[in-house]
Each structure stands twice: as C-alpha cells, then as structure tokens.
Amino acid sequence: MEQTGVQANPILSFLPLLLIMIPLIFVIRKLAIEKGRDAVLWTILACIPFVNFIVLWYIVGTPNKRLEDKMDKILEALNKSDKE
C-alpha cells in the first residue's frame, strides 16, 4: 500500500495554542497591573507556552503589593503614635 505524504500545515497546528495563549496574556497583564507587579515582566512570561499556566496560578495567588504597602504605612504610623 502506498501512503501519501500529506501533513498538516504547521501554522494550523499552533492555532489552538495561540487561541488559548492570547487571552491568557491579557489576563495576566491585567492582574499584574492591578496587583502592583512589573507588568512587562509578567507579560513576557505569559508569552511562553505552558509557562503561562504556571504564571497565571502564581499571579492569582500573590497578594496585592499596593495594599501591602498601604498597610505597612498605616502600621508604621500607628507604631509612631504609640511610641509618643
């Protein structure tokens, strides 16, 4: 039997991966901005296939840096007022 050498287009092979990756990139970037993290770094990491799923879980689980900074300032002010 003779087999034909028909192969799928390589671009079409990556299409499902791209369709999943593109929304993840925007979601990770938005979360990084909201949480006060470096948006450029997290966007670049989100562009790496399969790493972006790990990055998504990490960025979702990290605390909000802006809120932590505000809470630190409030606690510092309270500690100063207690010492006086």
| pLDDT tens string 49-66 | 889 999 999 999 998 888
Answer whether 42's CB lies under 8 Å from 29's CB: yes
Q: What is the pLDDT of residue 81?
A: 84
**Is pLDDT larger for residue 2 or for residue 35?**
35
Q: What is the pLDDT of residue 4?
A: 67
Could you tell me where the DSSP H helices lie in 1-84? 10-34, 39-46, 51-61, 65-83
7 pLDDT above the threshold of 80:
no
Its pTM stands at 0.73
Q: Read off the pLDDT band of 12 (50, 70, 90).
A: confident
